[in-house]
Each structure stands twice: as C-alpha cells, then as structure tokens.
Structure 1
C-alpha cells in the first residue's frame, strides 16, 4: 500500500503543478488554461484518496485532521474558482487567476510547513 500511496502523492503533486503552471502562464491573457480543471480535480481526488489510505493505517502516518481540513477548504476554493472561470470565460480575470495561483501556493506551503 505504500507504493499506491506514493503513486497517489506523485499524481497529487502533478495535479497541483498543472493548476499553478496554468494560472501563471495565463496571467498575461486571462483565461483558464486547458488542463487546469483536470489538474485540480486530480489533486482533489488523489488528496482524498491519500487521506483515506493514511487514516485506515494502510499507508503513511496518521494524518493531522485539522491540517487536512484546512487543505481541503483551500482545495475546494481553488476548484470553485477554476470551475467558474472554465464555465464562464468572461469571469477569468487576472484577479481570479492570481487567487488560483495564490491559493495553490498556500496549499503547498501548508503541506510543507505545517508540522
């Protein structure tokens, strides 16, 4: 199960990288870049699966539920912003993309710095 957990972690990080890269590259001409929706959904689903595996005791250490809750709220906020920008292209402004990039960076910082 550790191998499955590690594979999910790699996919999780790739999903967040797609979202951050898409947001940053689209700042000049604001739009939701192709793949950003898939990236955030990948990050969200793999994150939930990793928490399930860790909580069951099958892989990794027991997760900090407060930390996971905060990360989930941030991930849902990013998902909502990407979905709105994807479904209504006129809403995809620099502000929306900046919020997506900032919240994505925040989620990564929480993962790395919260002990």
Structure 2
C-alpha cells in the first residue's frame, strides 16, 4: 500500500507540473487558451488526490480532513474550469485554471 501511495503522489505531482507548465507556456503567446492537456492534467490531479487520501486512510496515517476538503474542492474547480474553458475558449477560464492550481499548491505546502 505504501508503494501505491507513492505512485499516486508522483502522478499527482506530474499533473501539477503539466498544468503549471502549460499555463506558463501559454502565457508566452498572444492569446492563451485552455487546451485538452489542461483537462487531462486536472483529471489526473483530481483522481490521484482522492487516491492519496484513500491510501492514507487505509494505512491509518493522519489526515487533516479540512485541508483535504479544501484541496479536493480546488481540484474540482480546476477540472471544471478547464473543461468550460476548453469548450468555450474563454480567456478568463485559462487564468482561473492557473490561479486555482497555484492556490491548490499553496494549500498543499503551506497548510500544516
């Protein structure tokens, strides 16, 4: 189970890297848009985040419920906003995905 937890953690970090890397790459252009890679990365973030919670609970490791609820809510916001942005090609959705992703990283690191 410990190996599975680390697999979820690595893929969770891969999803974050793909989202933020895509945001920074798109900022170089004139018209940043939300692409399918953002939706895929957001779904990876959401699924692996839930998997991390599940593995910690099954191993009887401490879980801060409030922190995990906030993190999951931000991951859901990222996924929904990325999907809306991909379908409607709205620039606000692109910036919202970047903001929500950065906020999720801040919650994960700074909330003790």
CA RMSD across the alignment: 1.4
Other-structure match for 2:69: 69
**Aligned residue pair count:** 110
Other-structure match for 2:55: 53
How far is 1:34 from its partner? 4.1
Matched residue SS, 2:83: helix
Please tell me whether the aligned partners of residues 84 and 93 of structure 2 are also in contact (alpha carbons under 8 angstroms): no
Other-structure match for 2:45: 43
Other-structure match for 1:25: 25
Please tell me whether the aligned partners of residues 16 and 101 of structure 2 are also in contact (alpha carbons under 8 angstroms): yes
Q: What is the CA–CA distance in structure 1 between the aligned matches of 2:4 and 2:16, rounded to whole Å? A: 18
Equivalent residue in structure 2 for 1:98, among 64, 84, 95: 95
Q: What is the CA–CA distance in structure 2 between the aligned matches of 1:71 and 1:49, rounded to whole Å? A: 13
Other-structure match for 2:2: 2
Please tell me whether the aligned partners of residues 24 and 97 of structure 1 are also in contact (alpha carbons under 8 angstroms): no
Q: Which moved more, 1:10-19 or 1:20-29?
A: 20-29
Please tell me whether the aligned partners of residues 15 and 42 of structure 2 are also in contact (alpha carbons under 8 angstroms): yes
How far is 1:30 from its partner? 1.7
Q: What is the CA–CA distance in structure 2 between the aligned matches of 1:112 and 1:30, rounded to whole Å? A: 27
Q: Which 5+ residue runs of structure 2 have no aligned equivalent?
A: none
Q: What is the CA–CA distance in structure 2 between the aligned matches of 1:33 and 1:17, rounded to whole Å? A: 15
